[in-house]
Amino acid sequence: MPRSRQGDGGPPAIARRTALLGGLGAVGAAALLSGCSPGGRTAAPVLSQEAASGTPAAGGVLRIARPPASQAETLDPAGSLSAYEYLGALYDRLVRMDGSGEAVPDLAESWESDGEGVRWTFRLRDGVRFHDGSRFTSADAAYTLRRIVDPDLASPQGTVLAPLVDPAKVATPEPGVLAVELKEPNFEFPALLTNYNCYVVPEGSGGSIGSTGVGTGPFRLESFTPGGRGRIVAYDDHWEGPPVLDAIEMYSMTDIQARTNALLAGQIDLISQTNLDFATARVVEASERATIARSVNAQWYVLPMLTTAAPFTDPKVRKAMKLAYDPGHVVDVALQGTGVVGNDNPVPPGTPYHTDYSVERDPERARALLKEAGAEGLEVDLYTSSYDPVFTPMALAYRDSAAEAGIGVTVRNASADSYYTRIWMNKPLMATYWYTGRPADQLLNQVFRSGSSYNETAWSNEDFDGLLDQARRTRDPERRMGLYQDAQRLVVDEGGAMTPMFADRLVGLSREVLNYRETGFEFDYRSIGLRP
């Protein structure tokens, strides 16, 4: 029998890109090029804008198909091999991000800083318990934060927080109060705790959390196999009330075709961590059993130029590469209209601190810059793969667009299995993408700051770094926004990353699913349910 239910609503979450994506898309999207209008622009796609909403049945089991993952994956949220589909269900953060990109309370009810942005005080929710029945206190929050910045753990978020957080200055003056004294001022600090690596775990659980999954989230672990199947069940004592569903079952399926076929056959209810290409999305949308949910601007696509490798060591060449192409053409070809132009700025439209600054395309100016750089008739290789269905159409569209400036681009297809070990950050020019959802401070510092391990272009600019430092120290929100926007202008004008577009993520799900709401690639686990 279904359990009784109380309340609804729940936390969206964010995340970085991960997981192997299938190989249908490059061919599927390219096959649609004949559907372009005479003006070279595609018609608006006939696809669902969002999943159906309503009052779901109490209980039920949601079946999720996810890509095959490493046998070394764990349930440790701070690790680099986290089983991402489980995290938002098993854990809560101190601070979470809402759909508009603002930091809002989660396990911390409120927070405040001193006038310098150095000393932060978080007041925690009372009455919260972990799945094992133990009480959540500031000791758990402090342990979680100290663990993230521990260099031995090598948490991806450690590179962001370690320059700020001294473990010795993370204090617990009361069970319901966490005090953090930063190494330097940062008025964006709470937003940095919204990262998916920052889910709170019990004090002292580092050695076991990867297999136990004990958190305070709306579901608790029943079973988990690294890279394979698993099951989570409703946690009735969640502080926001129990979730709608009785359970969620996870299945690992080898490729996108297998996952899509299972969805169309009614064997699963949701395809996780997979952005369907437009052609496949239309097939799913036209079926009786399945449909598409569009997560607007959920991914940003990049053509990073490695600034430490010729010819992109020359800023004139980088500028020419940007002026040469039409981002609108790339959106039309690669996304069939399911996205917006990026104008080489990685901060998504509609989020805090975004600036609409852009530089108009100018192929003739691009030619002139190449001549000044001694690079007339420039020939470059652009690497892509079937890792993501948008990579190859994006690369082909860039190639065709840049030809007008006299730039010859050879698109080279690399193996998906080794793409992020042999190509990414190794070849001078390649295709990649990131999930949106990061606060602007984290995005700009993590992906573009000098020396960052995620700086995929190896771009180094003292003025840019200085703007980020100044923004973090600035208490006034308007002034801080201006500094972050100045930093974005430098990325557009001088950086090594071409960002043609932000893409809607096309999520395949059963027509029986109600209330699928996503931020980043994690969805609202508490409210999702099935039709009565």
Residue 98 counted as domain residue: yes
Verify that 283 and 390 share a domain, yes or no. no
Which residues form the domain of 306? 297-504
157 Cβ neighbours under 8 A, 6+ residues apart: 78, 148, 192, 195, 197, 198
Residue 76 counted as domain residue: yes
Verify that 271 and 131 share a domain, yes or no. no
Residue 140 counted as domain residue: yes
In whole angstroms, what is the distance from residue 342 CA to residue 503 CA? Answer: 9
Mean pLDDT, the chain, integer: 89
Verify that 178 and 323 share a domain, yes or no. no
Q: How many CA atoms lie within 13 A of 436 on its CB side?
A: 31
Domain boundary among 208, 232, 253: 208
Q: First-to-last CA distance in the chain?
A: 14
In whole angstroms, what is the distance from residue 307 CA to residue 288 CA? Answer: 49
Per-residue model confidence (pLDDT) at position 521: 63
- Looking at residue 81, which CATH number applies to its domain? 3.40.190.10
Verify that 218 and 197 share a domain, yes or no. no
Residue 12 counted as domain residue: no
Going by C-alpha positions, the residue among 370, 361, 369, 353 that lies closest to residue 467 is 353
Going by C-alpha positions, the residue among 21, 8, 96 that lies closest to residue 437 is 96
Neighbour tally for 57: CB within 10 Å:
15
69 Cβ neighbours under 8 A, 6+ residues apart: 19, 81, 83, 226, 227, 252
Per-residue model confidence (pLDDT) at position 222: 98
Verify that 252 and 156 share a domain, yes or no. no
The one-letter amino acid code at 185 reads: P
- Looking at residue 169, which CATH number applies to its domain? 3.90.76.10
Per-residue model confidence (pLDDT) at position 50: 67
Per-residue model confidence (pLDDT) at position 20: 28
Burial class (CB in 10 A: 0-12, 13-18, 19+), 374: exposed
Beta strand 61-66 with 247-252 is parallel
In whole angstroms, what is the distance from residue 10 CA to residue 116 CA? Answer: 33
Domain boundary among 208, 226, 256: 208
In whole angstroms, what is the distance from residue 509 CA to residue 263 CA? Answer: 7
Going by C-alpha positions, the residue among 511, 351, 529 that lies closest to residue 439 is 351
Verify that 364 and 431 share a domain, yes or no. yes
Q: What is the pTM of this model?
A: 0.84
Residue 47 counted as domain residue: no
Verify that 453 and 337 share a domain, yes or no. yes
Structural contact between residues 493 and 210, judged by C-beta atoms closer than 8 angstroms = no
Instruction: Report which secondary-structure segment, H or E, holds 413.
Output: strand 408-414
Structural contact between residues 503 and 338, judged by C-beta atoms closer than 8 angstroms = yes
Residue 333 counted as domain residue: yes
In whole angstroms, what is the distance from residue 381 CA to residue 409 CA? Answer: 6
Per-residue model confidence (pLDDT) at position 102: 87
Verify that 194 and 68 share a domain, yes or no. no
Q: How many domains does the chain fold into?
A: 3
Low-confidence ranges of the chain (pLDDT < 50): 1-45
Domain boundary among 180, 208, 236: 208
Per-residue model confidence (pLDDT) at position 8: 28
Residue 409 counted as domain residue: yes
Verify that 192 and 254 share a domain, yes or no. no
Verify that 198 and 152 share a domain, yes or no. yes
Structural contact between residues 232 and 247, judged by C-beta atoms closer than 8 angstroms = yes
Per-residue model confidence (pLDDT) at position 270: 97
Token pair of 63 as six digits: 């079946």
Verify that 398 and 416 share a domain, yes or no. yes
- Looking at residue 371, which CATH number applies to its domain? 3.10.105.10
Per-residue model confidence (pLDDT) at position 361: 98
Q: Which residue has the tokens 């799913």?
A: 284
Residue 16 counted as domain residue: no
Verify that 263 and 120 share a domain, yes or no. no
Task: Please provide the size of the chain in residues.
Answer: 532
